[in-house]
Amino acid sequence: MAVILGSGLAGAASALGSRSSQHHLGELPGFPASVVAHQRSEVWSVEIGDHRVLAFLGRPHLYEGYSAADVVHPVRTAVAAGCEVIVITNASGALRADLAPGDAVLITDHLNLTGASPLAGPPARGDRPSAFVDLVDAWSPRLREVAKGVDGSLAGGVYAQLAGPHFETPAEIRMLRTMGADLVGMSSAVEAIAARQLGAEVLGLSLVTNMAAGMTPEGVSPRSIIGVARGRAAELGRLIREVVLAL
């Protein structure tokens, strides 16, 4: 299994289990090292019960100038190393009034509004999997049921990925709500697409860190977002650990 920990969520790694090795992503071939200040850019090997888990503390983003292929390199590497389940986490803004900062939400579906696909381009080699991937149930219903069995209070929602790095305008949030989005962020959808192309199951956990633009009188504060994520990271890590143990 692999776990990708989003912005401010590196603290979840320590709650997963016993770490047997650790590397900086920039030391590994093909890995772009994220330059975002709140990202750790490390990968740990962690034991959770009988499971071996690769925990990625941080990820590359489209808004850093990386290509979609660069962004999904951790996913492709994890699957090549034998991972059959990818747990994708992120920090997100909520578009629903019944969600609040600090809530963990199961991703049920996504809107990829980045204009990028990790499957685009000429085949790298003859055995490349098809680029025409069925994304019905891209976010595994089976894994969502397991997670609900661990925590029955978990809500579900549709996640919209935009390219960033700027936050959305109130008009864009109204557009996203009309399109069916419940959560918005700057990662995850392209990673899920790559994982599904390779046949891995995907579980998405989005930590709400703020209400989206226009939903409250306050603006969107990066400092506040990272503060909420860091404050709830260990709890999210414990949730992921329990889900892994339930598989």
Q: Tell me what pLDDT residue 136 has.
A: 97
Q: Tell me what pLDDT residue 219 has.
A: 87
**Residue for token pair 């850093």:** 64
Is the pLDDT score of 130 beyond 60?
yes
Q: pLDDT per residue over 160-219, tens digit each? A: 999 999 999 999 999 999 999 999 999 999 999 999 999 999 999 999 999 999 999 888
Q: Tell me what pLDDT residue 159 has.
A: 98
Q: Tell me what pLDDT residue 32 has.
A: 79
Q: Tell me what pLDDT residue 93 has.
A: 98
Q: Tell me what pLDDT residue 97 has.
A: 95
Q: Please give the span between the terminal C-alpha atoms of the chain, in angstroms, as a whole number.
A: 11
Degrees (nearest 5) of the Cα angle 201, 202, 206? 165
Is the pLDDT score of 126 beyond 70?
no
Q: Where are the beta strands (DSSP E) in the chain?
A: 2-5, 18-24, 42-48, 51-57, 85-94, 104-112, 155-161, 183-185, 201-211
What CATH number has the domain spanning 2-246?
3.40.50.1580
Lowest average pLDDT, out of 50-54, 74-78, 120-124, goes to: 120-124
CA gap 40, 22 in Å, rounded? 12
Q: Tell me what pLDDT residue 41 has.
A: 87
Q: Looking at the chain, list the stretches that DSSP marks H as alpha helix, in order from N- to C-terminal side.
A: 68-71, 73-80, 141-150, 170-179, 189-197, 222-246
Q: Tell me what pLDDT residue 35 has.
A: 61
Q: Tell me what pLDDT residue 125 has.
A: 56
Q: Tell me what pLDDT residue 129 has.
A: 65
Q: 161 pairs with which residues across the strands? A: 112, 185
**pTM to 2 decimal places:** 0.95
Task: From 165, 143, 163, select the one nearest 222 (Cα to Cα).
Answer: 165
What residue ranges do the domains of the chain occupy?
2-246
Is the pLDDT score of 127 beyond 80?
no
Is the pLDDT score of 91 beyond 80?
yes
Name the residue type at position 81: A
